Amino acid sequence: MNEPTTTPQPLSEAQAAAEAARLIAEGYSTTGPTATSYKDIAPLPTTGDTVPVAQPGRPPMSQKATDASALMLSGSVAALSVGGATSLVLYTLGQVDPVTLAVGGAAPVALVLAVGSLLRSAGRAKAVAHTEHHHHYNGPVRQETTTVSSTTCGLIARTRNNTR
C-alpha cells in the first residue's frame, strides 16, 4: 500500500560543479535548445487516511440545505430590488402632500395584489372551461346531480358550503 519513500542523495562537489557549468553553458548557448521548465523528480510525500477538513467559504451542508440557502439568497435579492425601488419612489415624492406619498408607497403592493388576483382568476377559468358532458346508457337510468358551491370570505376565513 504505502511504499517507503527514498530521499534523493545530495550531489558531490564535483557533480554539483559539473551540473552548474552545464546549466550556465546551456543558458548562454545560441545553437541548442534552452530549458524553459524544470521538473522536480523527487518523489511526492505519501498520503494516508485523513479526515476531511472544511475549506474556507460556504460550510459543508446537505443538498436540501444548499437548495434552501440558494432560495433564501435569491429571495433576498428580489426583496432588496423591490425595497430599493419603493425607497426611490418615496424619496422622489418626498416634497409632495401625504396623499400622493401614500399612493406612491402603495403602488408596488397594489401591483403585486393585482397580478396575484389575475393569476388566481386565470386558474379558476381554466378549471371551469369544459362543462359539457355526454353520457350514453342502455336501459332505465336514474341520474341525480349535486352541485356544491363554496364561499370563503373575511379576515378570519369562514367557509360555507351550499348544496343544491
CA–CA separation, 2 and 118 (whole Å): 69
Q: List pLDDT tens digits, range 16-26.
A: 999 999 888 87
Q: Where are the domains of the chain?
A: 64-126
Q: List pLDDT tens digits, range 30-47.
A: 776 656 777 778 877 777
Give, in degrees to the nearest 5, the angle at Cα 85 between 72 and 73: 10
Q: Give first-to-last CA distance, the chain, whole Å.
A: 81
Say whether 137 sits in a helix, a strand or coil.
coil
Q: List pLDDT tens digits, range 113-147.
A: 888 888 877 766 666 666 677 778 888 888 777 77
